[in-house]
Amino acid sequence: MNTHADPQPVPTAIDPVAANPALGYRSRIGRRLALVGLLTAFLFVSFMVDITNGPGNFSLKIVFDTLLDARAHGVKLEVVVWDYRLPVAVTAILVGAMLGAAGAEMQTILNNPLAEPFTLGVSSAASFGAALAIVTGMSVIPNIGPLIVTINAFFFALGTCALLLLASRLRGAGADTMVLFGIAIFFTFNALLAMMQYAASEDELSRIVFWMMGSLSRASWEKIQLGALLLALILPFCMLRSWQLTALRMGEETARSMGVDVGRLRIELLICISLLAATAVSFVGTVGFVGLVGPHIARMLVGEDQRFFLPLSAIVGALVLSIASIVSKTVTPGVLYPIGIVTALIGVPVFVSLILSTRKEKLR
């Protein structure tokens, strides 16, 4: 009987990555940079199509001229492009980027691929805040005037994030506790929202439903400035913590053993997520799909190295909402469908097919 088996498998072919792991890593980084560039280019194209589309059928050249010189084709074109189309197209990109980034960071710090502002109750809370203002006129800040719905939505979303933050400070609270807490918040605010709808008049009810469906028609340059400022502050802040955030995906204990202050990181990120999610939801209402699909597509394309994952989640989120904005205008000419419905209708099938195709790849 031969007992001298060779313990080492004999390689049959030279694997270039095994021969030079550094080369494999460098080429992977190159591919990722190319993907980020490509999707940014897609986003630009989508943005251009978005501002070209709409009632009036103006050509791309006319729209482009008006972008460069507001009065190039008269006051009417200036108003259409600068006061209507541009704010809507830019808001779609900003809100999509905010939701994509917030979803990515929520999934990272809670170690749960289903975490996003919608599933953890932030959007429900914002909807309740808006409904409260519409039905009772009660405001978080008294005498705020016409901004009452937006302000209420913002503070309720922010308050919910603060509750999640408090939950994270509970003794022994881990990522699972926070996710369960978020789900409890989701159901609580949905019940309160249903109560508001029950008490609302016909007119108030239609306003609540419209708000809940999400709409880009509330876009304004003031909101755009605020959103852009927020993104410009928060994205670099998170990017500086890329390595710590990536370590968190290795598990809390491993991250802590690498020297990451997990508790502090989680609080810092929750504050960032709160600001992004609350602002996005207060701008456009409930858009429940972007915070989930943005990070998932980004993860499939570039993995979870946060240096690429976070910016790409924001870019994909922006792209999804920008495409949804185009579709919402073009399905029925002259009718602007609520953006939340469009993102769900076109996004869910695309998302499911992506998941299924990835699964097939893995099984192969």
Partner 1 sequence: MTLIIDKLTVSYGNRQVLHQVSTEALAPGSFIGLIGPNAAGKSTLFKALGGLIRARSGTMDLDGKSLDALSRTERARQVVYMPQAYGCNAALTVFESVLLALKQEGGWRVGGDQIARVSATLDTLSIPHLSDRPIGALSGGQAQMVAVAQCLVRAPRLMLLDEPTSALDLHHQLSILTRVHEEARRGGMVVIAALHDLNLAAKFCDRLILLRNGHVVAEGETRKVLALPAIGETYQVTTSLETSRSGNAYVDARLPERIPVRAVA
How far is Cα 36 from Cα 303, in angstroms, rounded to an integer? 12
Tokens in use for 250?
Answer: 């290795």
Nearer to partner 1, 218 or 307 (CB): 307
Contact 177, 167 (CB under 8 A): yes
Q: Does 249 bind partner 1 (CB under 8 A)?
A: yes
Name the residue with tokens 């989701």. 186
Task: Report DSSP state, residue 261.
Answer: -
User: Which of 2, 3, 4, 7 forms a contact with partner 1 (CB under 8 A)?
Assistant: 7
Question: For residues 183 and 163, is the Cβ–Cβ distance under 8 A?
Answer: no
Choices 11-19, 147-155, 207-215, 269-277; region in contact with partner 1 by CB under 8 A: 11-19
Residue 307 beta carbon to partner 1: minimum distance, rounded to whole angstroms: 8
**In 3D, which of 112, 30, 352, 343 has the Cα closest to residue 215?**
343
The CB-of-161 to partner 1 minimum distance in angstroms stands at 24
- Tokens 């603060």 appear where? 162
Q: What is the 3-state secondary structure (H, E, C) of 32-47?
A: HHHHHHHHHHHHHHHH
Token pair 């755009």 in the structure block, residue? 224
Which residue from 201, 261, 335, 348 is in contact with partner 1, where contact means CB under 8 A? 261
Note whether 303 binds partner 1 by CB under 8 A. Answer: yes
Per CB under 8 A, the list member of 78, 204, 268, 305 interacting with partner 1 is 305
Q: Which stretch binds partner 1 (CB under 8 A): 7-15, 68-76, 186-194, 315-323?
A: 7-15
| Identified binder of partner 1 from the candidate list 207, 266, 299, 329, rule CB under 8 A | 299
278, two tokens: 């609350």
Among 55, 174, 251, 333, binds partner 1 (CB under 8 A): 251
Integer Cα distance of 347 and 336 in angstroms:
18
Q: Is 242 in the site for partner 1 (CB under 8 A)?
A: yes
Using CB under 8 A as the binding rule, whether residue 176 contacts partner 1 is answered as no
Kindly write down the DSSP assignment for every residue of 9-24, as one continuous string: PPPSS--HHHH-HHHH
**For partner 1, the closer CB: 13 or 75:** 13
Residue 357 has a CB neighbour count (10 Å cut-off) of 11
The reply on whether position 254 binds partner 1 by CB under 8 A is yes
CB of 291 to partner 1, least distance (A): 18
Kindly list the residues in this chain that would bind partner 1 in the complex (CB under 8 A).
Answer: 7-8, 11, 15, 17-22, 24-26, 28, 239-240, 242-244, 246-247, 249-251, 253-254, 256-261, 299-300, 303-305, 307, 362
